[in-house]
């Protein structure tokens, strides 16, 4: 895999989604319902699935524009400066005066498992008008990355604009809202939501959307087939320590995980999506892009924190070179 050939031209990636401050507590294990545990550490770390994927794509070699909403509070400047510090274009981020910025309350165990509660805040105020104001960023991008921490109608509007412009769309359907559990092929909640080039859920999200169990390797194909019927051209399911599976409507292919010990899986999926978007934009080869994203997700899972865990291009190149040499 030649990762140096495209350095002279960074592909344009647009990301529409959430910008949060992550409030992260680490403890030996995750608490049971009603249980109080003593934690080991606490940190405030810039996050949000949208912002995480923007940073992941920028570090992986993209030229990224972020579209989102922040509140008028103490976190907003920190979050905006963080994105600007990554050389991400932030003109598509607007301020909502009356509502605080989004927050995520995250508990991480020593084995890397996590529990996350998201408070949307200003992210819930992102509107179709915001998308229209950022139309050039979407139509000039090779790939648009989307998640579901912002209103569904905004995501649907962005998908329509991107599709009309020929911009590839990757949808990470997280979190899965109640109206999309065991989702039907028609209905207002769907209305083009899955008419994307690539639908990229993790195993729990895929199971929720399909209304089918995904507990064993043999469960992957029926879940992927069910999701494919929703209209996406490709289904890519991230399976944590079990790797990644890709279904294109004809064939199910599996990508084994990289042999890295997991520390914190919080941003592994975001690392995967951002890196995949960049490599797909560079080469047009989805199989290669999935492999690239798989490496990024593995590296991110081996580190603590969300954005601090996201790898840079040189790290990805080094890990891939090591893998190809074994």
Structural domains of the chain, with CATH: 12-32+40-324 (3.40.1190.20)
Query: What's the pLDDT band for 326 if we cut at 50, 70, 90?
Result: very low
Instruction: Collect all residues with Cβ–Cβ distance below 8 Å to 146 and sequence separation of at least 6.
Output: 15, 16, 17, 155, 158, 159, 169, 170, 171, 172, 196
Instruction: Collect all residues with Cβ–Cβ distance below 8 Å to 25 and sequence separation of at least 6.
Output: 39, 41, 42, 105, 106, 107, 108
For the chain, the average pLDDT equals 93
Identify the weakest region by mean pLDDT among 26-30, 110-114, 218-222, 238-242.
110-114
Of residues 262 and 10, more confidence is placed in 10
Identify the weakest region by mean pLDDT among 96-100, 115-119, 123-127, 170-174.
115-119
Q: What is the mean pLDDT of residues 72-91?
A: 97
Distances (CA, A) of 286 to 150, 186, 194, 201, 214: 27, 28, 18, 16, 24
Residues designated catalytic:
270
Looking at residue 5, its pLDDT comes to 43
Distance CA 216, CA 229 (A): 21
pLDDT reading at 99 higher than 80: yes
Query: How confident is the model over 118-155, as pLDDT tens digits?
Result: 899 999 999 999 999 999 999 999 999 999 999 999 99
Looking at residue 8, its pLDDT comes to 57
Length of the chain as a residue count: 326
Q: What is the mean pLDDT of residues 230-238?
A: 97
pLDDT reading at 188 higher than 80: no
- Three-state DSSP class for 205? helix
Distance CA 150, CA 120 (A): 8
Q: How does strand 63-71 pair with strand 89-96?
A: parallel
pLDDT reading at 30 higher than 60: yes
Strand stretches in the chain, DSSP E? 12-16, 20-26, 41-47, 63-71, 89-96, 102-108, 114-119, 143-146, 168-171, 198-199, 235-238, 244-247, 252-255
Distance CA 43, CA 134 (A): 32
Of residues 262 and 37, more confidence is placed in 37
Q: What is the mean pLDDT of residues 80-93?
A: 98
């Amino acid at each position: 895999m030649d990762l140096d050939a495209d350095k002279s031209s960074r592909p344009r990636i647009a990301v529409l989604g959430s910008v949060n401050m992550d409030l992260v507590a680490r403890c030996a294990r995750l608490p049971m319902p009603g249980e109080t545990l003593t934690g080991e550490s606490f940190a405030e770390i810039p996050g949000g699935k949208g912002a995480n994927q923007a940073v992941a794509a920028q570090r992986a070699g993209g030229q990224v524009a972020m579209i989102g909403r922040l509140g008028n509070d103490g976190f907003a400047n920190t979050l905006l400066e963080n994105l600007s510090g990554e050389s991400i274009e932030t003109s598509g981020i607007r301020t909502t005066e009356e509502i605080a910025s989004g927050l995520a309350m995250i508990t991480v165990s020593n084995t890397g498992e996590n529990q996350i509660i998201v408070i949307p805040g200003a992210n819930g105020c992102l509107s179709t008008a915001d998308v229209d104001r950022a139309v050039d960023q979407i139509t000039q991008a090779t790939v648009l990355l989307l998640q579901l921490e912002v209103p569904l109608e905004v995501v649907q509007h962005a998908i329509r604009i991107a599709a009309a412009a020929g911009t590839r769309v990757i949808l990470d359907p997280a979190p899965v809202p109640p109206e999309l559990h065991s989702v039907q092929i028609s209905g207002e909640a769907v209305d083009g939501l899955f008419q994307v080039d690539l639908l990229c859920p993790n195993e729990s999200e895929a199971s929720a959307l399909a209304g089918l169990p995904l507990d064993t390797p043999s469960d992957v194909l029926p879940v992927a087939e069910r999701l494919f019927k929703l209209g996406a051209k490709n289904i890519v399911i991230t399976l944590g320590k079990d790797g990644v599976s890709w279904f294109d409507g004809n064939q199910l292919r599996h990508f084994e995980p990289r042999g890295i010990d997991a520390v914190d899986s919080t941003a592994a999926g975001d690392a995967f999506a951002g890196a995949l978007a960049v490599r797909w934009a560079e080469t047009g080869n989805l199989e290669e892009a999935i492999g690239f994203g798989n490496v990024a997700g593995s590296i991110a899972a081996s580190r603590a924190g969300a954005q601090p865990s996201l790898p840079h291009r040189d790290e990805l190149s080094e890990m891939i070179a090591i893998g190809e040499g074994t």
